[in-house]
Structure 1
Amino acid sequence: MTVSLILACLWVVVAAGLGMLPQRFHWPAAYGLIALGIPLLGYVTYQNGPLAGMVAMAAGVSVLRWPTLYLLRWLARPLRRRQREE
């Protein structure tokens, strides 16, 4: 197993541990996990190929589902405004 996959597995374990903390720690923990996860995702993809990168991204999205949902809503907001104007 490569170093990047070991680090990705460690990231998932840390994310699970942070998820057990009280709710007031969830968003600050999510910001930290995102800041560490994006470069780690690039490292996994670089070292193991795009398929492993997509699997790691799916794992990260499943862990960070609420920040991902809020991001998608934020990105879709201008599209909804344009549809209302037409």
Structure 2
Amino acid sequence: MSLALIFGCLWALAATVVAMLPMRQQYAPGIALLAAAPLLITLIWWDLGWVWGGLALAGVLSMFRRPLAYLWRRLRGGAPERIE
């Protein structure tokens, strides 16, 4: 297994652990994971090709769909919804 894929698996495990934390404690590690995701996806894409890179991208988009939708709405100037 390549080093990029090992880092990807560790990233997914870290994201799962962060998701189990209470909401107030998720912000700092969640932002760090979200910031590391493009670098990790690029590394996987570069080392293993577009299929594995696309799967990594789909996984990140799946795990962070709500925060990314919120950021997208904010960037477009819309009012973000509050989902409880």
Unaligned runs of 5+ in 2: 79-84
> Aligned runs of 1:45-56 on 2, under 5 Å?
45-56=45-56
- Alignment length (residue pairs): 78
Question: With CA pairs under 8 Å and 6+ residues apart, which has the higher RCO, 1 or 2?
Answer: 1
For residues 76 and 55 of structure 1, what CA distance do their matches in structure 2 show? 27
Q: Alignment RMSD, CA only?
A: 1.5
> Aligned runs of 1:1-80 on 2, under 5 Å?
1-77=1-77
TM-score between the two structures when normalised by the length of structure 2: 0.82
How far did residue 2 of structure 1 move? Answer: 1.0
More helix by share: 1
Q: Is the 8 A contact 1:30 1:67 kept in 2?
A: no
Unaligned runs of 5+ in 1: 81-86
Instruction: For 2:28, give the aligned amino acid.
Output: P
User: Which has the higher Rg, Structure 1 or Structure 2?
Assistant: 1
Match of residue 84 from structure 1: none
Instruction: For 1:57, give the aligned amino acid.
Output: L
Q: Deviations over 1:2-24 (max 9, x none)?
A: 11011101100010001111110
**1:72 match: secondary structure:** helix
How far did residue 30 of structure 1 move? Answer: 1.6
Hey, which bits of structure 1, 4+ residues long, moved more than 6 A?
none
Identity %: 32
